[in-house]
Amino acid sequence: MTITTADVPVGGHRFRVHETGDPSREAVLWLHGSGPGATALSNWERVIGDLSGDLHNIAPDIIGFGDSSHPEPAPPTAADFARLRIDTLIGLLDELGVRRAHLVGNSMGGIIGLGMALQHPDRIGRIVLMGSGGAPVPPTEDLLKLITYYDDPTVEALADLMRAMTHDPSVLGESLEKITESRMERIQRPEVRRSHLATFAHNLPGLYEPEQLATLRNPVLAVHGREDKIMPLAAGHYFAEHIPDAQLYVMPNAGHWAQIEQPGRFAFVVGAFLTGRI
């Protein structure tokens, strides 16, 4: 499996984009979550490799993350930033010549993905929501730690946050130290800090009402770790209840990073759904 990486301009912005698979196959847009130092590959590197034989996988650093553009000044509110991200991701599909794509959204990526589907229903096919935000559930203590990370941007605080992403932190093994070290490099960049703060400024984006979700006609699979400490399982039940063509798959012994804790199971279930086998 080879991951190709390129910079793709969209209007006045630039995406760092990673791709696997044959471009003649059905396209899938993989939208990562938020958090200090988050990138497309930090979420999806293994799974887009596992599914490279079945799908054309497109995993961008969303605007305001990683090595994509960081607007300066940043949008004034979280809602404004969410709108910019939706618009630029549709622009990215245009630049890549992708008329219609399935999408997988983790956490914040689910919020953005649902916004894309509601605003541009003809551009989006099947949707996987993994530990997705956007449901009216109270923020957990660990989610608040993620949001306020820059109040105490230390290696120790980052390591605690990484542990909270999993049900069993030992699954990260010795890689936890490598993950924190690699993220700290990026976290300390002023533009990354600016984008993180703007992502959560003034109001949180994408709280979807039942009436909005009822208009979705996309087949949706909500995948949720049963022990998710960032986004409670109640969020997965909310989407399964209010989206007309939705099913819920609960992964036992998994937290917010189900794709990292149980990569084989995650790729199998998501691949079967995206290719129409379930």
pLDDT in tens, 168-198: 888 777 667 777 877 888 999 999 999 999 9
Task: Round to whole Å and give the CA distance between 113 and 31.
Answer: 7
pLDDT in tens, 47-57: 999 999 999 99
Annotated catalytic residue: which of 52, 107, 132, 195? 107
Burial class (CB in 10 A: 0-12, 13-18, 19+), 56: buried
Q: What is the mean pLDDT of residues 209-213?
A: 97
Who's near 252: CB < 8 A, 6+ residues apart?
226, 227
Q: How confident is the model at residue 123 (pLDDT cuts 50, 70, 90)?
A: very high
Annotated catalytic residue: which of 18, 56, 167, 256? 256
For 269, phi then psi, to 5°, come to -70, -45
Task: Round to whole Å and give the CA distance between 135 and 147.
Answer: 17
Q: How confident is the model at residue 64 (pLDDT cuts 50, 70, 90)?
A: very high
Task: Round to whole Å and give the CA distance between 143 and 33.
Answer: 12
Catalytic residue flag (residue 160): no
The pLDDT score that the predictor gives to residue 180 is 80
3-state SS, the chain, equals CCCEEEEEEECCEEEEEEEECCCCCCEEEEECCCCCCCCHHHHHHHHHHHCCCCCEEEEECCCCCCCCCCCCCCCCCHHHHHHHHHHHHHHHHHHCCCCCEEEEEECHHHHHHHHHHHHCHHHEEEEEEECCCCCCCCCCHHHHHHHCHHHCCCHHHHHHHHHHCCCCHHHHCCHHHHHHHHHHHHHCCHHHHHHHHHHCCCCCCCCCCHHHHCCCCCCEEEEEECCCCCCCHHHHHHHHHHCCCEEEEEECCCCCCHHHHCHHHHHHHHHHHHCCCC
Annotated catalytic residue: which of 50, 87, 142, 228? 228
pLDDT in tens, 218-258: 999 999 999 999 999 999 999 999 999 999 999 999 999 99
Catalytic residue flag (residue 32): no
Catalytic residue flag (residue 256): yes
Mean pLDDT of the chain: 94
